[in-house]
């Protein structure tokens, strides 16, 4: 419908006339808005010159709408009080409906970007909505009979567009004159039995629905859309049951095909399933149409598919997989292995944010749910596949299969094409360049995922490096303290040997402890730190992304779009044949640019992979050194405890030597010859000379003082080694790598 500007404002109570939406088969449609509630409705008014039969159909449509209630069927509304008298020009009732602000599907299909078909998500949403509406109508014994893009309107829902069927209960009079004058357009969607005036059933809606879906996928109607009725009927009826398209090539040949033509926006898996479904819906015979396996049941299975799109970064190809609700990523990887020959153990599956998919996680987390997102979006989620065993990425560019029209004009760009063929070829040229641009953007997303993964691992490496350096400083300090305290003990020990207490065995053990402590501080920290510092400039370099140069493709796409727009907007009197030289030049430039830049891209991707491998190799090394230092720290603690025990044993022996009534030294100890024994067998203390008694008392007092001082030093040493408040790692002794 064409919208007509208002000549003058018009009101009916709180309702205000906003605009004339256009003229349909039966009458005019206007939009009204309630000034109080801002509710909007569409009012359809029947023309007075309708035949009696069509007036009956008009009343029938109002009756049908008033008893239907489905989200995908436009809802009836109450006609505002007084509007019948104000607006009506005859005795036929007005029809009030909900207003759908998105316009009709024809308007959406006419957008330049949809010249070669709608986006995959938009098609799936349309299939879900219209199939649901048709099943509802058929269950209520209603056949629409005039399903076409003009009779489907769009309304923006909370999360996505909602499609609604309008014009219920209406079919045009198919007399001879209407067949001749209006076939191109509406009658293209009518089932053959309606055109042939045969008996029909709900399968007429199957044909219309299949024709409509084909146009949404490809951008044009399936069966010779520009032909006149009689030759059209004679040619199309020759198609086989499984043929879903009959078209005239640029060479003038009429071709039949069982497959959806390129270009379109469906993935390979969905393309195959939609071809099978269309073969069911577009059978010429109504007895066979839609009957095998029930067309709506088959469509429901398609709509329930959980699809995961995997971009193989080794080949720049997208692989599409149907996944079950309980299928794990590990199971998906086995299927990927069969298609790519990349072992599952070497696969890394990344999301765009650089997060790796865990093998035990569900694969459906990556599936697209079109009930939750707007199907018109182009930035749909992808999973990026990398081969961890390889750091050398070579471009394996297999050029996209060019559309048939583009291949034809490449052979002779100066060949003059009729306007309609030239316009379609121009649209295909633009779509080809846009597809190359989007391929390039997807590769950039994969590179971004690889870079984000690299930075995430590098951040972990940086944290471990800081932990390693901090622990190394603590370990070194503990080792130095242990060695220093050990030397002090050894010096003190040497000093007291003159008192008569000595053990070569103990001295040897302490010297062994010293060597063990020195070996504990020998870790490859400096070497690892230097290796990590050398890695950082390379990581910074890959972040500069010198390969980002997709602007040329965007420029070429813009030029192709402008060429296409100018061609479409030509006045009818100027629509003459033309050549394709400019189209061919733009496509050729785009393909050459893509191939050339692909080499630079994979060189850069290889650098990223090399950096990632270096990081992944360093991580276990750093972890190993940290673990080794943890163990060495425990060794130092055990050495300190052992040394403390040896000191206590030494003191115990010294005490027993001083206080024992038995002369002689314990095993391993000797008494200096210059020091007389404190207690000897067969002598009593009373028999000793007074001077000897005084000397012994002085010696005992000196030894007790020495024991006390030694015990204090030992306890203090042990406490300091255990606490190390100043070396607990609270301070960061190394700057972050990044």
**What is the rounded distance in angstroms from the CA atom of residue 457 to the CA atom of residue 472?**
22
Residue 256 β-bridge partners: 246
* The pLDDT of residue 677: 43
Residue 125 — very low, low, confident or very high, per pLDDT cuts 50/70/90? very high
Helix or strand or coil: residue 15?
strand
Cα atoms in the 13 Å half-sphere on the side-chain side of 341? 3
Q: Residue 573 gets which letter from DSSP?
A: G
Q: At what angle do helices 419-496 and 551-568 cross, to 10 degrees?
A: 160
Tell me the range of 290-299, 493-502, 676-685 where mean pLDDT is highest.
Answer: 290-299
Q: Tell me the CATH number for domain 306-387.
A: 3.10.20.90
Cβ atoms of 59 and 46 within 8 Å: the answer is no
Kindly give, in sequence order, each residue whose CB lies less than 8 Å from that of residue 636, ignoring residues fewer than 6 positions away.
Answer: 475, 478, 479, 482, 517, 520, 721
Rounded CA separation 705/658 (Å):
13
Beta bridge partners of 155: 162
- Tell me the C-alpha distance between 351 and 373, whole Å: 18
In the chain, where the domains are located = 1-99, 102-305, 306-387, 453-727
Distance CA 357, CA 364 (A): 11
Mode of pairing for the β-strands spanning 161-165 and 15-23: unpaired
Instruction: Pick 615 or 59 by higher pLDDT.
Output: 615
Superfamily of domain 1-99: Phosphorylase Kinase; domain 1 (3.30.200.20)
Question: Residue 517's pLDDT is what?
Answer: 79
- The fold of the 102-305 domain, in CATH, is Transferase(Phosphotransferase); domain 1 (1.10.510)
Per-residue pLDDT tens over the stretch 193-234: 888 888 888 899 999 999 999 999 999 999 998 888 888 889
The structural architecture, per CATH, of the domain 453-727 is Up-down Bundle (1.20)
pLDDT band at 529 (very low <50, low <70, confident <90, very high): confident
Distance CA 187, CA 208 (A): 10
b/e map of 317-332 (b: 16 or more CB within 10 Å)?
Answer: bbbebebeeebbbebb
Give pLDDT tens digits for 83-104: 888 877 777 888 899 998 888 9
Which residues contact residue 328 at a Cβ distance below 8 angstroms, ignoring those fewer than 6 apart?
359, 360, 361, 362, 363
243 in active site: no
Name the helix (H) or strand (E) containing 386. strand 383-387
Helical H segments across 140-289, by residue range: 176-181, 192-195, 203-218, 229-236, 268-281
Closest CA to 124 of 317, 290, 307, 310: 307
pLDDT tens digits for range 256-303:
999 999 999 999 999 999 999 999 999 999 999 988 668 899 999 999
Residue-averaged pLDDT of the chain:
81
pLDDT at 712 over 50: yes
Q: Which of 260-269, 465-474, 490-499 has the highest mean pLDDT?
A: 260-269
Nearest-5° Cα angle at 613, 610 to 618 = 130
Asked if 187 and 177 count as a contact pair (C-beta separation under 8 A), the reply is: no
- What's the residue count for the chain? 738
The C-alpha atoms of residue 611 and residue 224 are separated, in whole angstroms, by: 56
Catalytic residue among 104, 129, 146, 167: 146
Helix (H) or strand (E) holding 319, with range, is strand 317-322
pLDDT at 422 over 90: yes
Separation of alpha carbons 339 and 344, rounded Å: 11
Pairing of strands 307-312, 383-387: parallel
The radius of gyration computed from the CA coordinates of the chain, to the nearest angstrom, equals 44
Peptide bond into 263 cis (omega under 30): yes
Give the chain's end-to-end CA distance (angstroms, integer). 61
Structural contact between residues 327 and 363, judged by C-beta atoms closer than 8 angstroms:
yes
How far is it, in rounded angstroms, from Cα 25 to Cα 285?
Answer: 29
Cα–Cα distance for residue pair 654/664, rounded to 1 Å: 12
Residues with Cβ within 8 Å of residue 110, at least 6 apart in sequence: none
């Amino acid at each position: 419908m064409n919208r007509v500007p208002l000549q003058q404002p018009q009101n009916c109570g709180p309702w205000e006339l906003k605009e004339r939406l256009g003229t349909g088969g039966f009458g005019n449609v206007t939009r009204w808005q309630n000034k109080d509630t801002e509710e909007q409705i569409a009012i359809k008014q029947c023309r007075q010159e309708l035949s009696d039969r069509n007036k009956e159909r008009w009343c029938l449509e109002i009756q049908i709408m008033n008893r239907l209630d489905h989200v995908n069927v436009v809802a009836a509304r109450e006609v505002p009080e007084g509007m019948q008298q104000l607006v009506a020009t005859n005795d036929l009732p007005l029809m009030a409906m909900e207003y759908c602000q998105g316009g009709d599907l024809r308007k959406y299909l006419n957008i330049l970007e949809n010249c070669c078909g709608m986006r995959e998500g938009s098609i799936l949403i349309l299939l879900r909505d219209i199939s649901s509406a048709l099943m509802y109508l058929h269950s209520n014994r209603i056949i629409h009979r005039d399903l076409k893009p003009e009779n489907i309107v769009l309304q923006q829902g909370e999360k996505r567009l909602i499609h609604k069927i309008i014009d219920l209960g209406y079919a045009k009079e198919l007399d001879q004159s209407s067949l001749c004058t209006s076939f191109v357009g509406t009658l293209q969607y009518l089932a053959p039995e309606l055109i042939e005036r045969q008996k029909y059933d709900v399968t007429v809606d199957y044909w219309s629905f299949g024709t409509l879906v084909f146009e949404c996928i490809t951008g044009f109607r399936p069966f010779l859309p520009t032909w006149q009725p009689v030759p059209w009927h004679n040619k199309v009826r020759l198609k086989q049951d499984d043929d879903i398209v009959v078209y005239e090539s640029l060479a003038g040949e009429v071709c039949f095909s069982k497959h959806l033509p390129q270009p379109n926006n469906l993935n390979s898996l969905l393309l195959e399933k939609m071809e099978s479904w269309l073969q069911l819906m577009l059978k010429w015979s109504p007895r066979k149409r839609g009957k095998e396996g029930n067309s709506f049941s088959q469509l429901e299975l398609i709509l329930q598919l959980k699809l995961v799109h995997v971009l193989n970064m080794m080949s720049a190809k997208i692989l599409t997989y149907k996944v079950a609700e309980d299928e794990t990523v590990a199971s998906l990887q086995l299927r990927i292995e069969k298609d790519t020959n990349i072992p599952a153990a070497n696969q890394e599956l990344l999301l765009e944010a650089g997060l790796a998919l865990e093998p035990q996680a569900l694969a459906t987390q990556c599936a697209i749910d079109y009930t939750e997102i707007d199907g018109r979006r182009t930035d749909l989620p992808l999973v990026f596949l990398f081969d961890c065993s390889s750091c050398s990425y070579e471009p394996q560019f297999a050029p996209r299969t060019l559309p048939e029209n583009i291949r034809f004009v490449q052979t002779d760009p100066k060949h003059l094409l009729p306007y309609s063929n030239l316009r379609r070829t121009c649209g295909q040229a633009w779509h080809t360049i846009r597809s190359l641009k989007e391929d390039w953007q997807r590769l950039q997303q994969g590179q971004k995922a690889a870079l984000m993964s690299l930075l995430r691992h590098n951040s972990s490496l940086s944290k471990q490096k800081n932990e390693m350096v901090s622990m190394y400083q603590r370990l070194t300090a503990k080792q130095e303290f242990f060695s220093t305290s050990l030397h002090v003990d050894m010096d003190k020990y040497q000093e007291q040997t003159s008192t008569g207490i000595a053990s070569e065995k103990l001295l040897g053990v302490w010297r062994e402890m010293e060597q063990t402590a020195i070996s504990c501080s020998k870790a490859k920290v400096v070497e690892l730190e230097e290796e990590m510092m050398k890695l950082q400039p390379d990581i910074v370099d890959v972040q500069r992304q010198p390969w980002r140069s997709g602007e040329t493709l965007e420029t070429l796409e813009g030029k192709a779009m402008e060429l296409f727009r100018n061609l479409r907007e030509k006045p009818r009197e100027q629509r003459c044949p033309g050549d394709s030289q400019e189209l061919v030049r733009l496509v050729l430039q785009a393909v050459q640019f893509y191939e050339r830049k692909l080499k630079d891209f994979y060189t850069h991707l290889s650098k990223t992979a090399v950096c990632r491998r270096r990081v992944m190799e360093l991580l276990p090394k750093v972890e190993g050194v940290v673990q080794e230092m943890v163990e060495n720290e425990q060794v130092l603690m055990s050495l300190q405890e052992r040394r403390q025990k040896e000191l206590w044993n030494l003191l115990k022996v010294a005490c027993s030597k001083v206080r024992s009534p038995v002369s002689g030294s314990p095993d391993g100890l000797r008494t200096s010859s210059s020091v007389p024994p404190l207690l000897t067998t067969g002598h009593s203390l009373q028999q000793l000379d007074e001077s000897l008694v005084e000397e012994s008392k002085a010696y005992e007092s000196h030894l007790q003082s020495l024991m006390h001082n030694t015990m204090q030093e030992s306890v203090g040493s042990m406490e300091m080694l255990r606490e190390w408040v100043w070396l607990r790692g609270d301070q960061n002794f190394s700057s972050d790598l990044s």
